[in-house]
Amino acid sequence: MPSISTKGIQLPASPIRKLVPFAEKAKSEGVKIYHLNIGQPDIETPEEALNAVKSTPLKVIEYSHSAGNESYRRKLADYYQKHHIDVDHNDILITTGGSEALLFGIMSCLNPGDEIIIPEPFYANYLSFAMTAGAKVIPVKSTIDKGFALPPVESFEQLIGPNTKAIIISNPGNPTGYLYSKAELEKLREIVLKHDLYLFADEVYREFCYDGESFFSAMQLEGIEQNVILIDSVSKRYSMCGARIGALVTRNKEVIQTALKFAQARLSPPTFGQIASEAALDTPTSYFERVVNEYVSRRDCLVHGLNKIEGVFCPMPKGAFYAMARLPIQDSDHFCQWLLEEFRYKNATVMLAPATGFYSSPGAGKDEVRIGYVLKKEDLEQCVEILREALKIYPNKK
């Protein structure tokens, strides 16, 4: 039998989805599974987006321009202008989800053997995309004890070598919920400017900032306009994960033109997703006010509840809808699987994401899990109770 490619073998399995077979088996046995492992909100998609798809007059579902529909790109540029990001529609490439935007960006800017510095823990697919492009991830570690704050500038400087080509940040962060301050981003600006690096800024959770904190985009940093590449998506903003529409945004014309070659090779982004996404830009601000208030309520319920459990520590996220928690366990992969295979409380259990998959440093995240507060408050209260009871009897505690 022919062999599988080395790259395919080395590519890591998703820490978010690899436990699905165990969850499916539990469900087949009648067990209630609370899914806190994946960023799929139960928030309703704006009716503006849904109605646009339902009422489309299309008779033929055609290819769009490989860069995306011009009407959508123009309207999206207006959205960015309102957020003090000075771009026009020619600076925007519509992609099949934010994932494709980042993959196109990395493949456009990096050669095999180039290095990307990423504060860890980081979104697991960053590693997969880098490996796909033949690039190497160099982690700079942030810690749960400091709330996953951006590591000191010196930590970045020590890692920069002749092959360093880029830095990736997620702001607000997945998996940590950390929100970078303007001051932190300006420190990154100095590093990018000094070493002439690309800065990939994953800002898909822009609308979800809490406790009166304001969002500052990497695209607003002065002096590195040609270095910054914004990665965006409608998936979380409008609770439209299945629409599979994202965007690569940059003022660097060479990057846009290069990324367009990859976009042409995959022909076009999804037609109905673009229709829904363009209409979603008409979503009233009241929608986001309700959603933010809902997430704050859920966050407080989850984090306060977790921190009342003996041996558990969970810093308060300032954005997105994830929390990283440290548990009194030895192996988060084993614990998350054990919850699905062996533990039941009132015929229910929870599905979490082991944090090991969000680190590239060997052995990191063994006592941490990522939890998405994507379920209603009543469900989260049940989840905290289930975890409390599970930790009482889990056999491999610290």
Tell me the C-alpha to C-alpha distance, in Å, between residue 309 and each of 12, 31, 143, 355, 389.
Answer: 32, 24, 21, 19, 9
Mean confidence (pLDDT) of the chain: 96
Q: Which helix (H) or strand (E) holds 41?
A: none
Count Cα atoms within 13 angstroms, Cβ side, for 204.
28
| 379/106 Cα distance (integer angstroms) | 38
Instruction: Confirm if 21 and 337 have CB atoms less than 8 A apart.
Output: no
H-assigned helices in 39-84: 47-54, 70-82
pLDDT at 184: 93
Lookup: tokens for 284: 């009233």
Helices (DSSP H) in 67-160: which residue ranges?
Answer: 70-82, 97-109, 125-132, 153-157
Burial annotation 58-75 (CB, 10 A radius, 16+ → b, else e): eeeeeebbbbbbeebbeb
Distance CA 329, CA 331 (A): 6
46: cis peptide before it, omega within 30°? Answer: no
Domains of the chain: 6-44+286-393 (3.90.1150.10), 56-280 (3.40.640.10)
Q: How far is CA 282 from CA 58, 76, 277, in A?
A: 21, 11, 9
In angstroms, the CA 48 to CA 282 distance is 7
pLDDT one-digit tens code per residue, 44-80? 999 999 999 999 999 999 999 999 999 999 999 999 9
Whose tokens are 């933010």? That residue is: 292
Whether 111 shows a pLDDT value over 90: the answer reads yes
Rounded CA-CA distance 194/227 in Å is 12
pLDDT in tens, 191-218: 999 999 999 999 999 999 999 999 999 9
- Give the Cβ contact number of residue 4 at 10 Å: 8
The dihedral region occupied by 354, where left means phi > 0, alpha psi between -120 and 50, and beta the remainder, is beta
298-326 pLDDT, tens digit per residue, is 999 999 999 999 999 999 999 999 999 99
pLDDT (0 to 100) of residue 16: 67
Q: Which of 30, 35, 3 is nearest to 19 (CA)?
A: 35
> What is the pLDDT at residue 394?
97
Sheet holding 322-326, edge to edge: 322-326, 368-372, 353-354
Strands 322-326 and 368-372: antiparallel
Model confidence pLDDT, tens digit, residues 227-242: 999 999 999 999 999 9
| Position 329 pLDDT exceeds 80 | yes
- For 124-183, what is each residue's pLDDT tens digit? 999 999 999 999 999 999 999 999 998 888 888 999 999 999 999 999 999 999 999 999
Mean pLDDT confidence for 17-40 = 92
In tens, the pLDDT along 240-269 reads 999 999 999 999 999 999 999 999 999 999
